[in-house]
Amino acid sequence: MPAAGYSGTPLLKKLGLTEGLRVRLIHPPDDYFQWLGTDISSQIVSSTEPPDWVHVFARTRLVFEKEMSTLKAVWQKNPRLVIWASWHKKSSGIPTDLTEHVIRGYALGNGLVDVKVCAVSEQWSGLKLVVPLSKR
């Protein structure tokens, strides 16, 4: 599958998803591994295991905020945690009240900062959230 967006960079590289990271996926689309171009199932951890890297897909603000509230204890224990938050692009035609601005506002209000944005697929965008360096 070609890379989403304009850069031509493979999604795996854009997301910084490397071998050895413990991964938690929350509501991923069925074709997520196809987008990545590889099977990362051996890196997936259960919801009770600590991840290093999380990708949250949310169709609404309510779902996003609910999932992020469950992750708050995770980033407080592991300040090096990387969280990718994805929402439907306006061009996808899927109605949503979740936007880049909503995600950024939630992050800033909860001790995180956004450091990167990318096209995850033709329908989804992603915002990378991390604990600021000064708080690690």
The pLDDT-based confidence of 132 (bands split at 50, 70, 90) is very high
What are the residue boundaries of the structural domains of the chain, listed by start? 11-135
Rounded alpha-carbon distances, angstroms, from residue 28 to 3, 32, 111: 17, 6, 25
Q: Mean pLDDT over residues 61-81, rounded? A: 95
What fold characterizes domain 11-135?
A: Rossmann fold (3.40.50)
Q: Which amino acid is at 5?
A: G
Nearest of 2, 37, 134, 18 to residue 82 by alpha carbon: 18
Q: What is the pTM of this model?
A: 0.92
Give pLDDT tens digits for 15-34.
999 999 999 999 999 999 99
Residue tagged 């999932």 (tokens): 67
SS3 114: strand
CA 19 and chain centroid, separation? 17
Q: What is the pLDDT of residue 2?
A: 46
